[in-house]
Structure 1
Amino acid sequence: MNEGDCNIVLEVLTRATSQDASILKPAEQQLKQWETQPGFHSILQTIIQNHNIGVNVRWMAVLFFKNGIDRYWRRTATNAISDTEKEGIRAKLIARFDEPVAPIATQLSVLIGKIARLDCPKLWPELVPTLLDAIKQPDLLYQQRALLTLQHVNKTLASRRLATDRKLFQELTTNIFGFVLNLWNTYHEKFLQAANAEDPTAMATALELSVLALKVLRKQLVFGTTEPGKSQEAMMLIQLIFQRIRSFLEMRVRLPANHTLREKLEKMAILHTKILIDCQESFPLAYIDFISSSLELCTSCVFSDENRHLLFERFQVQCMNLIKAIVRCEKYKERTGPDEEPDPVTVKAEGATKGFFTESIVTEICQRLIMQYFPLGQEDLELWESDPEGFVADESGESWKFSLRPCTETLFITLFHANKPVFIPVLIQMVQKVQDACDTEDMQVLLQKEAVYNAIGQAAFELFDDVDFDQWFTSHLLKELQNKHPRYKVIRRRVIWLVGQWIGVKLSPSLHPTLYEAVLPLLSQDEDLVVRISAAQALKTAVDDFEFKTETFLPYLDSSFSLLFQLLQDVSECDTKMSILHVMSFIIERVGPEIRPFSNNLAQYLPLLWEDSAEHNMLRCVILSTLIHLVQGLGPHSTTLYPFLLPVIKFSTDTSKPPHVYLMEDGVDLWYDTLQNAPSMTPELLQLFSNMPEVLEMATENLKTCLQIISSYVVLGKEQFMQSHGQTVASCTTGIVSELRTEGIAAVLKTIETVFKVFPMEGPRLFESYLPTVFEEILNKDTYPMVMTMHVSLLSRIIIKNQDYFFSILDGIAKSWNTTPDELLTNLIQTWVDRMDQLAIAERRKLTGLAFAALMTSSSRAVFERLPDTMYIIVEVLHDVCREEGDQQIDFLVMSEDHSDEVQDEYDTLHDKRMRELSRQDPVHNTSFPEYVKFQMSQCERLHGPTVFQQIMDSIDEEVVQQLKGFISLSFL
């Protein structure tokens, strides 16, 4: 495209702003087609910079311009913008800073920052000098747009992490930090002058410019300064922040609540605290000189009645987070050995914190945190009434960085841990003061008690040695839970939460039944919903306790499960349903098969919940998790769930359905557990396997489970399954081997071995195309031992059960490799024998012994030539698997026919039993190795005659023969 096409592009951009979809869609498609055309982005830039064109059209041009830069600016990009066009774009971008529309100006600044990240300074050395010159212009719009651009450029350059990039940013910081600091000071002075003149417009302009300058300084302080303690300008910045922050708070308070400047002043105050927190986290040692100033500023604002009017929530959070960062900083704690000199820097830091946190200050902070910040406010109580599920929504993760309540609680725990000797008596005294207060008419009294109980729960681990919780629970807290006054729900909810906090800390197992009895009334439908949800979480904690005993809980299982099921139906929010389902799922998991009599209601409700949660994939994940535990608990009775269960598995593991991204992992686990507990194969289960090839192809984390599913199908479905899906199993398992690491390959080979176990004759034929690889891997001396062991096992099973097929495969491979069968077999046996030590497991070694013994009756010349070596291995295996009982050598791997040696487990699934039965049919476990060797040697003598056989035996090392006599007795030995 050329400049003459500008009008054409302008016309299409105009159509792209239409509200009519029939006009808009074709225009957007046309613009996307032009994205790869040379000159297109230069035309967009021309349109953007023409202020006479409508704002909507220019905005659309900016969006396409920005997207194009993202996709095509890098040299390595397909259809990359040419160097010549890029040079012109860069020049135009910084030719003027007079964009009148703020949103467009912001987008252009972001765009320049993106290009700077790739091109500055090597390809764009003039960028920063041009910006600095523009900032010095007298025109305020020019200054603001240039400073906004510098801020975004500075931000993107600071985000680069390579060592060379960091060095370049440090050089930039060295060159312009002083200039920007002076700029910030200048704008601050202009702001104060405008404030004195009561000129809100000038105040807003100066404040906006001041914020931009300070944002630049923040990034340069943290990422561009290596040792701020040695930089006079960096230290000056920190000092000025302490001097100015209070003035912004005071000025904000003097403005009306709806004044536009209030929000700007709040942002400025927050930005000041962000710099302090960043500096303390990034340069804790350089910050030591400011520890006292920080603590004085923050505590005087947060814990003083005098300054309470200055505060707003986000500022309180920032102050508390700064206090917490200082108290928790490991660099400020002295840790020296008995013979080491203390570090003066650490001593200074510790002195600053200890000097500030005197006993009286710590006591006051403790009391104010609990009584001023812990109590529920009017907004909390209104939310409780209007949206109970929203009230109990869990604030997790890093919410303490932004929300006042979690921030307050984390600060409380941090200070408690650092000041136990002061906090503990204060807190216990507060408990004694409020615990007997039960005046339901005075809400403030109840809220204070609720706050103190919250503190006791938060500090449960810290108070382990100082509170007799068993005694407190039985003598006092149980009574609190029994007070059914409507207003007392605040205390009931807090007490049951408190008990939940202490269960894993210090509640005797003997009191667990008492706790269950106390929880059940709180779950009933006539109780407040917030209390019910809190009681459900406390019950989960009790069931999750290390000392939980199923038999103790069984008398309460029916009631608790019914009440939880009712609660699940009564709540409406997705997150709350997930939470209650988690509790029920956890109970099902802990009680196992005992859940069977109580599962009908849940089994009937889950399909309805599944349908209602079509738009909530995370809730569906929880439903899948619940089904997993339900199937495990129901065992063989899980077939009653099949009408719902199998379609859910099919949907969750269908890679053509978008939700599979969320549901796949749990869906595969549910599929596996369903097969584990299936009493028989059904047409629906069989049809479900059609999802497996695609699932296996994309399997990463759940590869092992997918392979276990295939093995479960083979053992459960046998001929029925293999007739329907045998070829699919062979192709999808061998097809992924080349993409896997050692552990994955071994897992695939174990699945193939399961097929060989169940179908010793037909199985190897299914995998015939893979058998040459088996030979290759055994002959390859670099094959990992784990993988070599599995290939040897597969070959051994073919030799033992289907020797004619083995020799036909050997002939075919020899022909394709242009060698003779005897030569190939000789090399195979020799490599096999040489690597025998890598077979570490007795069962695997016995398989090899059985295979070598089976080959004795073959007519292969290679077998007879290598018989001394194979006989040596056979004797080794006899030593491995035999133990002496009386005057006999007994193969301890053989399972007895009366099943007396079978270890039964109450958690055994039907699949476990099927696998044990399969093991009984395995030659490793149903064939006595000494007897088998004896039989094969007798057959060998009968087939070849005594003379030839004696010649063979004479070729074997005499010591090997003598050891062989210790295991078997034959007339010729």
Structure 2
Amino acid sequence: MNAAVIQVLQQASSQDPAVLKPAEQTLREWETQAGFYTALYNVFSNHSLPVNVRWMALLCFKNGVDKYWRKNAPNGISEEEKKYLRTSLIINFNEPVNQLATHLAVVIGKIARLDCPREWDTLIPTLIEVIQGQNSIIQHRGLLTLHHVVKTLASKRLSADRQLFEQLTTNIFNFTLNLWNTFTESFLILSSNGADNTQIQENLEKALLLLRILRKLILNGMPIVSKSDDAMMFIRELFPRSKSCLECRKTLLLRNNNNQSNDLIEKLEKFIIHMTKVLWGIQECHPICYIEFLQSSLEFTFYYCFTDAGQPYVFTKFVIQCLNIMKTSLIHQNYRAPLGIQTEDESVLRRELASKKSYEIKGAFFTKELLKEIIMWLVTRYFLLTNEDLELWNNDPENFAIDDSRDSWKYNIGACTESLFLSFFSQFSDDILPILVELVQKHYQPVHPNNWEGILLKDAVYLAVGLAASELYDDVDFDQWFSTTLKQELEVNDINYKIIKRRVCWLIGKWTRVKLSSELRPELYKMMVKALGSNEDLVVRIEASNTLKQALDDFQFNSEEFSPFIETTFTLLFNLLREANECDTKMQILYVLSFMIEHVGDDIKPFIGPFSAYLPSLWQISEDHNMLKCAIISTLVHYVKALGPESSVLEPLIVGMVGLSCDLNQDAHVYLLEDGLVLWLALLENAQTPTQGIMDLLGYMPALLEVALDQVTIKPAFCIIEAYILLNPQVFIVQFGNRIVEGFISIMSDFRRDDATHLMTLLDIIMIVSPDQGPRVIQKILIKIFKVVYNNETIDLNVPESMYVIARVLLTSRDIFSQILTQLATEFGQDKTSEMILAGIIDAWLEKISWDVKQLEPLKLLALALCSLLNSASPTIVVQKFPNIITSIVECLNDLNSSNESSDQPPGFIDPLLITNLPKNVQAYGVDPDTLWRSAHDARKELSENNDIVHTVCLRSSLRNQLNSLQRCMNKSQYEQMIGSLSPEINQQLAEYLNEPLFNKMSECRI
């Protein structure tokens, strides 16, 4: 098989698709054949074969391990073959190609994660034996393999696996530490003696691998580091070792006129960085144990990062690591001021003592003089724009302007120093504020445009003051500063002043939501409009747009104050959007436009014609950029809401966007679904008529209900379905009703309470707008709902909301109601009859109507349903429960009547839910139309509510009619016996309601 495998692997390495595709297919067919992975091993372990063939064999081997090595994996590799491969993989460690050796080590690590130590107890001892050998390359490969084995074992999280890893750490930590010391010392001696670079690099690479192993062992294999003397010694040794390596780096850089190997310097920097990673990792994972080294790490960081003596030794990545260690020392929860908790809990006491000790160490170290020195270094050195920054600004302004603020403090020196600067305020705010106030006073006046150093320093000071805006609230008169210096600086027209102007815009944005008088907001808008002008630098314009967003997103924002600036601002932002080339910049500007449209509402209408015309081309630009598509869709949501019915001109574009976002067959739906659903809803809510394009979109909903909705997207999906029901109930029910119902049934088991409530609302609306077809279409869901109420279940659906739906079915379609009772009786069996099930449902109604129903609408709905049962065709069970039914209806009448006591209605009973009895200035949902802009969807919803039986039928009239009908079809003694079964109090109240003349004859309606 080996020869055939080699031939196919050669073909799989080809660039010719006609050769490549069949070879890949053959390899896929061989994946599950016995002996295939043995053949692959024979190929990649044969050093005489071409590297590309061996590489392809190893890649296939790795993929097979991922898919077929696990126990019980379908078509898994046999235990015999796995045993042979485990033995073979650790026989030879003389792989000459570095990339293949690394890949092979990764594969062994993957197998070790599954099999070590239970099925592969020889792995670690073999690696230790190999590492102890004298052959340099075999020793390196052994260390490389041990590193990847330890790395994968450390990632396991089950308790038993963690215990095994802790045992492994105990067994090999001392051996690894001694070896690390040996190779580190050898590297330092060789480099100081000017030895050959190859020899130096060999020792350095091995020391780096050992350091990586030690890091995993100490972070993941030692629950309490302080219990291990070796571990504490190792941590203590990291500080002098780092110092020696930094000095060695400086020497290597200077030697031979900087002609030293870049590769060696690069590896040495990695080694130094990894030592700081060990320190930072221990500080994060074992903070209490690290307190012993807190003083040393603070001194170490201060010397190298904040003194002239330490600067010649450092490089950027090292500085970032050190500053992050100092930041953790300042803000870690175990290093904050002790809470003074009085307790006998040993763990709490231990944390309190640790907090006290660390707090005292920091207090003693960070004296006022030292703090001033650190703050001045941060502001006047680290905050300064570098030559690289300025070069990026000039050559690629958009990338310079984009603020990547996520975790950039971990790798970006600017973000790192800003983060450290803010961390000092958690403990030393009182000592730092006077320093900043002094800097503000010193740099208050505008600087001359030709004073380049002054410009850079002022930019740095403004950065510090902006970062600390909330801390400086009481110490800086920002209104005066804004009205004088900052305003003047934005008016300076000089190319060098773009740095100050950009920072002034940023600074105003930071202070706007902290301390800026409302009287100055029009001036702020005017200043930002000027900064957005096309004659300004692109970076300044982008920063001005961000500041404008901050102003719009403030609780003090007043749309009337902003009204004079709407047209100019929108035009300038739109021009900036068109000029931007980078998708990230366009996203940022769209975000600002979205904010603006949202906050000014329909005032934007007169000015957005050009933007509407630009949208199709902008959407085309975003073809390969899903995040830009998200920004466009998000902006369009506010755009459609602002335009209202006028947004119909964009309907074809929006329909296409929604289709791309919500079609599960499109890859883009992964990114766009959430925003696409919101846009879909906005389109429906403002649509005047159900166009073909809008209705076609509904075809995506069944698939969404079945597989793609989660708790974030299900709510807008419900709202979309509701909008369709109201927009075109006939088409919705006939063409899509059954598929939508099936979709609901498939996800009902995952419903939360809010989801179930929303479903009940949808079912209710369907029966209101389509009383003939609606109940029949949703019959499958209704059966489940009847079961919930009958069995008093609360798992999938909520009983109260379910009762309202059943009441609606009874009032809308008695035939469907009866069919469901019959079907349930057949399904339940055990001598269950439809009358018995009806009795259970009536009992549930009678119980809930007395205790759980608080709102008048559902209360009246249930009462009307009970009324409808009182006729000659009702089963015997209704007659038996007549007293309880009448009692519940009367109590409902009492609630309806009592709601009139505080109103201006005349004395007597008037049904407050009847449309004709509502005050003229109030709509069905109780708002003044003069104070609320209503969408087309709102109007449709109000119309459906006005047609609801709750608002068209008088409960008292219904009860009177039903009782009169009963009286006519029963003999007098039977009827009197039924009335006599009522309690005297209920009988009296019933007589009052039935005998009192109606005030509104138009309400004499029917059931």
Task: Determine which of 982, 985, 989 is the counterpart of 1:956.
Answer: 982
Q: Does 1:221 align with 2:218?
A: yes
1:555-607: CA deviation from partner (whole Å, max 9, x where unpaired): 11111001000000010100000000000001111111211112212111111
Aligned pairs (5 A) from 1:677-756: 677-697=686-706, 698-700=708-710, 701-738=712-749, 740-756=751-767
Distance 2:784 2:431 in 1: 72
Query: Which residue number in structure 1 is paired with residue 517 of structure 2?
Result: 508
1:891 Cα deviation after fit: 2.7
Contact 2:733–2:774 under 8 Å retained in 1: no
1:813 Cα deviation after fit: 5.4
Query: Which residue number in structure 2 is paired with residue 844 of structure 1?
Result: 858
Greater Cα shift, 496-505 or 191-200: 191-200
Query: Which residue number in structure 1 is paired with residue 96 of structure 2?
Result: 100
Structure 1 residue identity aligned to 2:862 = T
Contact 2:757–2:798 under 8 Å retained in 1: yes
Contact 2:449–2:496 under 8 Å retained in 1: yes
Q: Does 1:249 align with 2:246?
A: yes
Task: Determine which of 188, 192, 205 is the counterpart of 1:192.
Answer: 188
Aligned pairs (5 A) from 1:150-299: 150-195=146-191, 196-254=193-251, 255=253, 256=258, 259=261, 260-299=263-302
Contact 2:821–2:838 under 8 Å retained in 1: yes
Q: Does 1:968 align with 2:994?
A: yes
Contact 1:437–1:445 under 8 Å retained in 2: no
Q: Does 1:608 align with 2:622?
A: no
Secondary structure in 1 matching 2:806: helix
Greater Cα shift, 694-703 or 66-75: 694-703
Contact 1:934–1:969 under 8 Å retained in 2: no
**Structure 1 pair 379/123, CA: closer, same or farther in 2 (3 Å)?**
same
1:787-837: CA deviation from partner (whole Å, max 9, x where unpaired): 323332222223224445544654565567665544443343234434444
Q: Does 1:37 align with 2:33?
A: yes
Query: Which residue number in structure 1 is paired with residue 1004 of structure 2?
Result: none
Query: Which residue number in structure 2 is paired with residue 787 of structure 1?
Result: 798
1:496 Cα deviation after fit: 0.7
Secondary structure in 2 matching 1:567: helix
Distance 1:815 1:12 in 2: 64
Aligned pairs (5 A) from 1:311-330: 311-330=314-333
Distance 1:858 1:261 in 2: 100
1:739 Cα deviation after fit: 5.1
Distance 1:207 1:924 in 2: 84
1:729-772: CA deviation from partner (whole Å, max 9, x where unpaired): 44444454355445433322321211101112221122334443
1:459 Cα deviation after fit: 0.8
Contact 1:760–1:797 under 8 Å retained in 2: no
Greater Cα shift, 863-872 or 512-521: 863-872
Distance 1:350 1:900 in 2: 65
Contact 2:749–2:796 under 8 Å retained in 1: no
Q: Does 1:53 align with 2:49?
A: yes
Aligned pairs (5 A) from 1:814-833: 814=825, 820-833=833-846
**Structure 1 pair 889/289, CA: closer, same or farther in 2 (3 Å)?**
same
Distance 2:438 2:819 in 1: 89
1:439 Cα deviation after fit: 1.6
Contact 1:785–1:838 under 8 Å retained in 2: no
Distance 1:733 1:241 in 2: 61
Query: Which residue number in structure 1 is paired with residue 441 of structure 2?
Result: 432
1:325-377: CA deviation from partner (whole Å, max 9, x where unpaired): 11223323342449899955444322322222122111111111111111111
**Structure 1 pair 152/555, CA: closer, same or farther in 2 (3 Å)?**
same
Distance 1:146 1:352 in 2: 43
Contact 2:870–2:966 under 8 Å retained in 1: yes
1:69-125: CA deviation from partner (whole Å, max 9, x where unpaired): 011110121111111111111111111211111111111111111111111111111
Gaps of 5+ in 2: 344-348, 998-1007
**Structure 1 pair 702/192, CA: closer, same or farther in 2 (3 Å)?**
closer
1:895-926: CA deviation from partner (whole Å, max 9, x where unpaired): 33664332134243221222122212112123
Greater Cα shift, 842-851 or 884-893: 884-893
Distance 1:38 1:965 in 2: 90
1:129-163: CA deviation from partner (whole Å, max 9, x where unpaired): 11111111111111101111111111111111122
Q: Does 1:372 align with 2:381?
A: yes
Query: Which residue number in structure 1 is paired with residue 868 of structure 2?
Result: 854
Distance 1:369 1:221 in 2: 33
Task: Determine which of 608, 623, 631 is the counterpart of 2:632.
Answer: 623
CA-based RMSD? 2.2
Q: Does 1:933 align with 2:921?
A: no
Secondary structure in 2 matching 1:950: helix
**Structure 1 pair 855/121, CA: closer, same or farther in 2 (3 Å)?**
same
Q: Does 1:404 align with 2:413?
A: yes
Contact 1:15–1:24 under 8 Å retained in 2: yes
Contact 2:790–2:844 under 8 Å retained in 1: yes
Aligned pairs (5 A) from 1:876-955: 876-883=891-898, 885=901, 887-895=907-915, 896=917, 899-902=920-923, 903-904=927-928, 905-944=931-970, 946-955=972-981
1:221 Cα deviation after fit: 1.2
1:8 Cα deviation after fit: 1.5
Structure 2 residue identity aligned to 1:616 = H
Distance 2:353 2:803 in 1: 67
Distance 2:82 2:752 in 1: 45
**Structure 1 pair 160/816, CA: closer, same or farther in 2 (3 Å)?**
closer
1:887 Cα deviation after fit: 4.3
Query: Which residue number in structure 2 is paired with residue 556 of structure 1?
Result: 565
Greater Cα shift, 164-173 or 560-569: 164-173
Q: Does 1:335 align with 2:341?
A: no
Aligned pairs (5 A) from 1:385-400: 385-400=394-409
Gaps of 5+ in 1: none
**Structure 1 pair 770/492, CA: closer, same or farther in 2 (3 Å)?**
closer
**Structure 1 pair 439/555, CA: closer, same or farther in 2 (3 Å)?**
same
Greater Cα shift, 143-152 or 333-342: 333-342
Q: Does 1:542 align with 2:551?
A: yes
1:199 Cα deviation after fit: 2.0
Secondary structure in 1 matching 2:465: helix
Distance 1:338 1:817 in 2: 61
**Structure 1 pair 290/930, CA: closer, same or farther in 2 (3 Å)?**
same
Quote the sequence identity (%). 40
**Structure 1 pair 360/821, CA: closer, same or farther in 2 (3 Å)?**
closer
Greater Cα shift, 289-298 or 739-748: 739-748
Structure 1 residue identity aligned to 2:913 = L
Query: Which residue number in structure 2 is paired with residue 667 of structure 1?
Result: 676
Secondary structure in 2 matching 1:50: coil
Distance 2:259 2:995 in 1: 104
Contact 1:934–1:970 under 8 Å retained in 2: no
Contact 1:635–1:677 under 8 Å retained in 2: yes
Q: Does 1:866 align with 2:844?
A: no
Distance 2:836 2:355 in 1: 76
Structure 2 residue identity aligned to 1:749 = M
1:856-900: CA deviation from partner (whole Å, max 9, x where unpaired): 124223222322221122122223322255541333333336643
1:641-698: CA deviation from partner (whole Å, max 9, x where unpaired): 2132222222222222111111111111111111112222222222222222122222
Secondary structure in 2 matching 1:287: helix
Distance 2:672 2:648 in 1: 22
Contact 2:323–2:416 under 8 Å retained in 1: yes
Task: Determine which of 72, 78, 83 is the counterpart of 1:82.
Answer: 78
